[in-house]
Structure 1
Amino acid sequence: MGAYMLREEANHWWKNARQRIRAGGVVITWEIFKREFWVKYFPADVRNRKVVEFLELKQGNMTVAEYAAKFESLSVFSPYYNTAEAEYGKCVKFESGLRPEVKHLIGFSEIR
């Protein structure tokens, strides 16, 4: 019974969210769905902590692959970086978190 009620609530939420998004003439992509889902089902304080964690993220002792994975997983919490217009800024943010010796090896132009 509880699972059914949760499923119904989620279906009702998505039906309303989908209507609202489509009314704005937006094509619903996986990224848009994820953003809507995060807003609905993650408390604001958790999202805010994740945004701060993303903004303060540095490579530190992580490999580049580990840093990139962490960067991508946290970037979903920062709506600004999840638009096509922000792609350049997202690259700059990624580069700024790399260790200096890694930045020197790859050069800035290769990521952007």
Structure 2
Amino acid sequence: MLSGEAEDWWKFANQTLPEEENVIAWEVFKESFLGNYFSRDLRKYKVKEFLDLKQGNMTFGEYASKFHELMKYWPYY
């Protein structure tokens, strides 16, 4: 559910993104959304941070939390 600025973005994007059988493909939506809200450099940085993640001095719970936070960036760059 989008709200605020993201909702305004969606109102515009909904009218401009290509549709197939009146449906916007998830990949098309995701690429447009991420391109608008997450710069390519930030995504690359987060992917590198994910790939370089080591437990080090973190507890397992802290490590698992950081892993889950960063893994959402993995397929996006």
TM-score by length of 2: 0.64
Instruction: Tell me the equivalent position of 1:58.
Output: 54
Instruction: Tell me the equivalent position of 1:38.
Output: 34
Q: Larger helix proportion, structure 1 or 2?
A: 1
> Residue type of the partner of 2:44?
N
In 1, Cα distance between the equivalents of 2:64 and 2:39?
25
Output one character per residue of 1:14-47: Cα deviation in whole Å (capped at 9) or x when no partner. Answer: x34883216x8xxxxxxxx8xx243431000011
Unaligned runs of 5+ in 2: none
In 2, Cα distance between the equivalents of 1:11 and 1:65?
39
Unaligned runs of 5+ in 1: 25-32, 81-112
Instruction: Tell me the equivalent position of 1:47.
Output: 43
Pair 1:21-2:17 in alignment: no
TM-score by length of 1: 0.46
Higher relative contact order (CA 8 A, sep 6+): 2
In 2, Cα distance between the equivalents of 1:74 and 1:39?
18
Aligned residue-pair number: 64
Query: Structure 1 75/68 Cα, relative in aligned 2: closer, same or farther at 3 Å?
Result: same
Pair 1:74-2:70 in alignment: yes
